[in-house]
Amino acid sequence: MMKSIVEYSDFRKYMRDFYEERKRCSAFSWREFSKIAGFSSSSYMKVVCDGLSKLSRIGVERTGMAMGLVGFEMEYFRAMVEYGQSESEEKKIAAYNNMLAIAKVHKVRVLEGELFKFYETWQNPVVRELAPLMPGATPGEMAKMFYPEVSAAEVRESLDFLTKAKLLKKDADENFMQTESSITGTPDATRLALRGMHRQMSKLATPALELPVDERNFTGVTMGVSKVLYGRIVKELSECLRRIVAMASEEKDIEQVYRLNLQLFPLTKNIKESATDGSKSDKENDNE
C-alpha cells in the first residue's frame, strides 16, 4: 500500500509510486495513465516522471484527478508540483511551507520537515553542538558563549525545537546529548534550506576576520579554470570535507564550536561564451 501523499516531497516520485502500485495490482501502463489524465501522448506521464517535461496548471489538475486525489490531497499535490518545478527560490520555499502546513493540519509529518526547519537559522546547529558541551547550563549561560551575540530566549527556542525534533535528547542526569553524530537529509529540500544557512554563515565570516590569527584561518586563491577543472576541484573539495567530518566525528575532547565554509564561485562570466555572444551582438548592431 502506498504511503500518504503528505509523506512525499517529490511529486514525480509520488506519481511513479502511484504507477508502480497500480501496475502491481492490474495491467496498468504508462499509456493508460496518460490517457486517463487526458494527454494525447501515450508516454507523457513517463516523460514527466523522468523529469523530461513539466506539468502545466491544467496538467496538474488532470494528473491529480487521474490519481483520484481530492480535498487536501489535491491541494498538497499542487503545492508539491509548485515546489518541484519552480525556478524561484522564494516560490519554492513558499510551496514547501505550504506542504508542511497542510501536513500539520492533517496530523501527518512531512518527510524532512524537521531538517528543513533545522537549517532555517544558524543558531540551531550551533546550539546542537554547544549544549552537550555545557552540562547543566542554562540558556542564558549558553548564549554568553556565542561570538555573534544571541539572546537566552533564542537559545531556549532552539533547544525546544531540537528536543521536539529529536535532534537532541536528555540523559539520566538531564543533560543534553546528540541523538546522532551528524545530520544529513534527502537532497532537494535540504539543499533549498541550506541556501539560507550558507547566506547566514557567510555573513558571520566577515566579523570573524577581527579574531586573533591563531583562532581563525582565512585562505583563498583566484585562478582561471575550465568546466572540466571545475568538476575536479569540486570533487576534491567534497573529499576533503568528507575527511574533515570524519576527523571531527572521532574527536572526543571538544573545546569550541567552529564553522568551516568551503566556497568556490565565479568572479567573471564565461569568456568563451561571452566572446560568441559578443560577435553576434556586434553583427546585429552593424545592421541597425
User: If you write DSSP's letter for every residue of 228-254 in order, what string do you get?
Assistant: HHHHHHHHHHHHHHHHHHHHHHH--S-
pLDDT, mean over the chain:
85
Phi, psi (deg, nearest 5) at residue 26: -160, 180
Per-residue pLDDT tens digits for 135-147:
999 999 999 999 8
Q: Which long-range contacts (CB under 8 A, 24 or more apart) does 69-75 make?
A: 69/5, 72/102, 72/105, 72/106, 73/5, 73/6, 75/102
β-partners of residue 169 are: 177
Residue 157 pLDDT = 96
Given the DSSP bridges, would you call strands 176-178 and 168-170 parallel, antiparallel or unpaired? antiparallel
Which helix (H) or strand (E) is 64 found in, with range?
helix 57-66
Q: Answer whether residue 186 shows pLDDT above 60.
A: no
pLDDT tier at 288, thresholds 50, 70, 90? very low
Which three cell numbers, joined as nine digits, stand for 244? 574533515
Classify 256 as helix, strand or coil. coil
pLDDT band at residue 179, thresholds of 50, 70 and 90?
confident
**pLDDT at 105 (0 to 100):** 76
CATH architecture assignment, domain 112-210: Orthogonal Bundle (1.10)
Question: CA 89, CA 105: separation in Å to the nearest integer?
Answer: 24
| pLDDT value for 1 | 64
| CB proximity list for 124: less than 8 A, separation 6 or greater | 117, 118, 158, 161, 162
What are the grid coordinates assigned to 7, written together? 509523506
Domain coordinates of the chain in residue numbers?
Answer: 5-110, 112-210, 223-288
pLDDT level of residue 284 (50, 70, 90 thresholds) = very low
pLDDT number for residue 110? 56
Q: Is 71 helix (H, G, I), strand (E, B) or coil?
A: helix
Long-range contacts of 64-72 (CB under 8 A, 24+ apart): 65/37, 66/33, 66/36, 66/37, 66/38, 67/15, 67/18, 69/5, 72/102, 72/105, 72/106
Average pLDDT of span 232-260: 85
Query: pLDDT tens digits for 22-51?
Result: 888 788 899 999 999 999 999 999 999 999
pLDDT of residue 43: 93
Mean pLDDT of 190-198: 77
Mean pLDDT, range 151-159, rounded to an integer: 96
More confident residue, 132 or 244: 132
d(CA 45, CA 31): 8
**Mean per-residue pLDDT, 71-89:** 93
